[in-house]
Amino acid sequence: MPFDTTSRFVPLSAPEISGNEWKYVRECLDSGWVSSSGPLVERFERAVAEAVTTAHAVATVNGTAALHVALLGAGVEPEDEVIVPALSFVATANAVRYCGAHPVFVDVDAATWGIDASKVADFLDRECAWDGQRLTDRTTGRRVRALLPVHLLGHPVDADPLLTAARRYGLAVIEDACEALGAHYRDRAVGRLGDAGCFSFNGNKVVTAGGGGVVVTDDEALARRVRHLTLQAREPGGEYVHDAVGFNYRLTNVCAAVGLAQIERLAEFLKRKRRIAERYRRSFVDFPAVQCMPVAPWASPSHWLFTIRLRGPASGTSADLVARLQEAGIEARRLWRPLHLLPMYYEARRGRLDEAEAVYQDAVSLPSSVGLAPGDQDHVIDHVLRFVSEALRR
Ligand SMILES: *Cc1c(COP(=O)(O)O)cnc(C)c1O
């Protein structure tokens, strides 16, 4: 069947704005509270805390800022080291650098595409020295302070062994859950597995606020520090007295209005994203050249971006597939180039990163919008299968 490729455009991850967004934004504008104080920011924070079942939530201007202040709030200081997976969006490592600390890149595992807990334990046990108080990287002499695992593409990391290793050495665990709102690890919501979790409400994430972020935690003192830092570290009272170098990181009430309306629909969005993922899986099951991203038995992912890995003769053609889909009006993309292959991190401390490079080499993320129509999904599936069957014939 010929497809009309001139008019059709299938985006990678478009927001669905069809709930109370207009109503809450109008309320916000009518109230005159448009900036970073206002009742909607607090309602938005409460809604996120409820969704993740944490005691506290602090809204920020975006997910990157959430990571930055969560690391500071957890005690990361200049010249510390923070353990980060090599395969992630650049913001994960940048947030560490904003603190003046240094990322240590660890490989991902094939079962989750998240940080490999056994390689983290290897690094801590073999490369570091523990004096009962302080964990020191023997090569650099720096203090290792925190783990920053990423729930990649909405799939939770295998958290229990990471938490065990962190506890052994007194390390903080901050989750980069920016892609994983609503995902669960065993029966626990991601974002509340470690000391604090960070979410993004960027336009292409599971739910959006236009732009926004949230730090969630059960630790009241940590929540207080984080909130203080997002408000320019201003002391309470009517005067402008500040006790630290803070940041202008608080979310605006206008964005919170959008975010609040979106959060109300989280359960429905997650269900629709799961159906999209299942449909891709069913369609690709008979094609070994198209390997679907893994789902661990204990995982309940957010299914943020459904991602395939090209295998066999199709291996090495991910850029070609993205280009081919583009010609057909389909927005697909490769994964982020692993962080140690970006110029500002060439010199970063790292182990072997074979799996991160292998996944990156062959992965392509496919359209996964909540509102993806079955006909548009068929269009995507058809083009992927045509592409791999040509690759097999070559
Ligand atoms: C989106 C994202 C971020 C940053 O969130 P922003 O809201 O865009 O600043 C951080 N880490 C990961 C893994 C992300 O996907």
What per-residue confidence (pLDDT) applies to 394?
76
What per-residue confidence (pLDDT) applies to 1?
47
How far, in Å, from the CA of 272 to the mean position of ligand 1?
22
How far, in Å, from the CA of 27 to the mean position of ligand 1?
28
User: pLDDT (tens digit, 9 = 90+) per residue, 170-220?
Assistant: 999 999 999 999 999 999 999 999 999 999 999 999 999 999 999 999 999
* Mean pLDDT computed over every residue of the chain: 96
Which ligand 1 atom is the nearest neighbour of the CA of 65?
Answer: 9
Which ligand 1 atom is the nearest neighbour of the CA of 152?
Answer: 13
Instruction: Kindly state if the Cβ of 76 falls inside 6 Å of ligand 1.
Output: no
Residue 4 confidence class, pLDDT cut points 50, 70, 90: low
Asked whether residue 291 carries a pLDDT value surpassing 90, the answer given is yes
Instruction: Kindly state if the Cβ of 64 falls inside 6 Å of ligand 1.
Output: yes
- Helix (H) / strand (E) containing 230: helix 220-230
Residue 289 backbone phi and psi in degrees, to 5: -75, -15
Asked whether residue 86 carries a pLDDT value surpassing 50, the answer given is yes
Q: How far is CA 47 from CA 66, 176, 204, 347, in A?
A: 17, 19, 20, 41
The b/e string for 210-246 (b: 16+ C-beta within 10 A; e otherwise) is bbbbbbbbebeebbebbbbbbbeeeeeeeeeeeeeeb
User: pLDDT (tens digit, 9 = 90+) per residue, 18-74?
Assistant: 999 999 999 999 998 888 778 999 999 999 999 999 999 999 999 999 999 999 999
Instruction: Kindly state if the Cβ of 213 falls inside 6 Å of ligand 1.
Output: yes
Distance of alpha carbon 63 from alpha carbon 252, whole angstroms: 14
Residue 266 backbone phi and psi in degrees, to 5: -55, -50
How far, in Å, from the CA of 65 to the mean position of ligand 1?
9
% of the chain with per-residue pLDDT over 90? 95
Region 352-376: mean pLDDT is 97
How far, in Å, from the CA of 2 to the mean position of ligand 1?
38
- The tokens describing 78, both together, are 């200049």
